[in-house]
Chain A
Amino acid sequence: MNPFRPPSPSLRFIPVWRRNFLVWRKLAVPSLLGNLADPMIYMLGLGYGLGALLPEVGGVRYIAFLAAGAACFSTLNAATFEALYSAFSRMQVQRSWDAILNTPLSLDDLLLGELVWAASKAALSGAAILAVTAALGLIDSPLALWALPLVFLAGLAFAALGLIVTALAPGYDFFMYYFTLFITPMALISGVFFPVEQLPAALQAVSRVLPLSHAVELVRPLFRGEVPAAAATHVAVLSGYALAAFWLALGLARRRLLK
């Protein structure tokens, strides 16, 4: 049977999500600190340090500009780490997936559970940045709350891309390629740290097809209290990434695990 047949998941993905949530709850404090510390250092260090040297960027103070980027970047990082290292541990090292596949769950359910879990964790990271930004007095419109479902959607796209890598990975070392060749370049040209307009035209064209830049295009106006332009397009692109990448990741995982 073709491993790349369409996904047919069911609500049985929920116990997988709950399993991961239970583990997370036990480690919630260090995990939250870890989720927050990294983007915080970027945001406050670059925001205040670099921001002091810069006039306004994109019409706002640099730290306010950076906050929206940092929310998306931390969503990207949280989703990617969960879909790569954590999911790989459960698949290959702890053999938790083997145990789960012996129950009425299918691989489709299992992988969907991992996807939604990674996106949930990612959304939490994004939400934490939103909360800190609000606490710093850099947000003054409730419209910013729309960022929450959108970082969840972005989390789905980033996690699904990560699951493709996990389904292919022979070991943990493999993940370095993904970070060096995809995640870092994407973070640098998607408008997280500076406006995409600063880039040469060719790089701007590349940027336009990357999921992170669509997330940034949605979240940044919302942080400023504005409705994003072409919101439907950005949502459609992120959804498309999430669906296509999940389909591919599932096909690869079926090929790997259901031989």
Chain B
Amino acid sequence: MEPLSIRGLHKSFGGPAVLAGLTFALRPGECYGLLGPNGAGKTTTLRCALGLTRPDGGEIRLAGLPVPERAREARARVGIVPQMDNLDPDFTVAENLLVYGRYFGLADRAVRARIPQLLDFAGLAGRAEAKISTLSGGMKRRLTLARALVNDPDLLFLDEPTTGLDPQARHLIWERLKQLLAQGKTVLLTTHFMDEAERLCHRLAILDRGRLIAEGSPREVIAAHIEPEVIEVYGEPGEMSAAAWARDEAAQFATRVELAGETAFCYVTESRPLLRHLADRRGLRYLHRPANLEDVFLKLTGRDLRD
């Protein structure tokens, strides 16, 4: 059984379509990434999947159940880490877990028995009686993750789980997610961090304007949509303009050149000719690296700001 399957999802809020025939499905035990610029439809997709927003058309099955018809039962088997922290500020760490467990119909005794284990997992052992306001951003995120596990779900939704965290806190979250995947849980992850998606996701989808425009493993997506290597070329101020160079000379060495401000991104399958050329050029600096998911993302969704 697929933990979540979405077929031909349509939704508009009066204006242009927010979801325009979105289709994808999660396989049991995988981490599936939903990437897309702001407004691509990620949040609406999650809300539809949980039965909180009614789509105009399409089919959703969550934990094997049709949504929104049986969304209540389906939600009982899912854990959610929302984008915005919504822990209860009036409660202690342990009370947050206890009260959340009650919403799932769990007996206090059953939840109390699980609290030490959940806090341990969240790296919050010994903090059971702490007030929420005394926790750091990373601790709050980890507690939110622990709260999402209170009903022992098979499927987790994580909506930008590491936004605003420092590198240490991010790495700790990643470790915990890997542990959960190792336990066989399925994860649906939305993120703006391409390195996070590349690191965690078995498969991912890039969404734009409510449509899925690329899907596969991170390697597959990179291989399918972009040249394998990138050389970023910068002009030295006062000496040479990368823009002028890109306009006049870059095309003969690179399959594709993108200009963003004063940086020329040269996408190449064979890097040596360009590297030789740059070695002799004064006034230009460069960085040579393998193409990554961010390159694909920017290629497919454009470099324009989406607010």
The residues of A that contact B89 with a CB separation of less than 8 Å are: 94
Residue of B nearest to A10 (CB): B72
Stretch at the interface among B74-82, B266-274, B286-294: B74-82
Contacts of A96 in B (CB 8 A): 86, 88
> Which of A15-23, A57-65, A133-141 contacts the other chain?
A15-23
A103 with B52: in contact, given A19-B99, A26-B90 (CB under 8 Å)? no
Q: Residue A200 at the B interface, CB < 8 A?
A: no
Contact with A along B80-101 (1 / 0, CB 8 A): 1010111111110001000110
Query: Count the A residues whose beta carbon is within 8 Å of the partner chain — how many?
Result: 23
Query: In the complex, which residues of chain A have a beta carbon less than 8 angstroms from the beta carbon of B99?
Result: 15, 18-19, 22
- Give a binary string over A1-41; 1 marks a CB under 8 Å from any B CB, 0 the rest: 10000000000100100110011001000000000000000
In the complex, A239 has a CB within 8 A of chain B: no
- Binding site secondary structure of chain B: loop
Contact across chains for A258 and B53 when beta carbons are under 8 A apart: yes
Given the contacts A99-B86, A104-B76, A259-B53, A18 and B102 also touching, CB distance less than 8 Å: yes
Which residues from A are CB-within-8-Å of B104?
Answer: 103-104
A200 to chain B, nearest CB (A): 47
**Contact residues in B for A23 (Cβ distance below 8 Å):** 88, 90-91
B50 contacts A102, CB within 8 Å? yes
Query: Would you call the interface of chain A mostly helix, strand, loop, or mixed?
Result: helix
Query: Count the A-B residue pairs with Cβ separation under 8 angstroms: how many?
Result: 63
B86 touches A104 (CB 8 A): no
A103 touches B103 (CB 8 A): yes
Q: A1-B54, A98-B82, A259-B13 are contacts. A15–B102 as well, Cβ < 8 Å?
A: yes
**A106 close to chain B: CB less than 8 A:** yes
Q: Is A105 an interface residue (CB 8 A)?
A: yes
Q: How far is the CA of A94 from the CA of B80 in the complex (A)?
A: 17
Contact B84 A103 (CB under 8 A): no
Q: Give which listed residue, A19, A102, A258, contacts B75 with CB less than 8 A.
A: A102
Residues of the A chain whose Cβ atoms lie less than 8 Å from the Cβ of B82: 95, 98-99, 102
Residues of A within 8 A of B238 (CB): none
Closest to B72 in A: A104
Please report the C-alpha to C-alpha distance between residue A19 and residue B98 in the assembled complex, in whole angstroms. Answer: 10
CA distance A23 to B132 in the complex (A): 14
Q: Please state if B91 and A22 are interface contacts (CB–CB under 8 Å).
A: yes
State in angstroms the CA–CA spacing of A17 and B86 once bound together: 18
Beta-carbon contact of A99 and B100 below 8 Å: yes
Is there contact, CB below 8 Å, between A19 and B84? no
Interface flags, A99-122, vs B, CB<8A=1, else 0: 111111110000000000000000
Q: Give min CB distance, B152 to chain A, whole Å.
A: 13
Asked whether B164 is an interface residue with its Cβ less than 8 Å from the other chain, the reply is: no
CB closest residue in chain B, given A14? B102
Interchain CB contact under 8 A, B52 and A258: yes
Q: Is B105 an interface residue (CB 8 A)?
A: yes
Q: A12-B105, A19-B102 are in contact. Are A103 and B75 (CB under 8 A)?
A: yes
- Taken together as a complex, chains A and B put the C-alpha atoms of A22 and B13 apart, in Å, by 38
User: Which A-chain residue is minimally distant from B89 (CB atoms)?
Assistant: A94
> B120 interface residue, CB < 8 Å from A?
no
- 10 of the cross-chain contacts (CB-CB < 8 Å) are A18-B99, A19-B102, A94-B86, A99-B87, A99-B88, A99-B100, A104-B73, A104-B104, A258-B52, A258-B54
Q: Nearest 6 A-B pairs (CB), nearest first?
A: A95-B86, A103-B103, A15-B102, A102-B80, A99-B86, A23-B90
Given A18-B102, A98-B84, A101-B52; 7 other pairs, CB 8 A cutoff: A15-B99, A18-B99, A94-B86, A95-B86, A96-B88, A103-B103, A106-B72
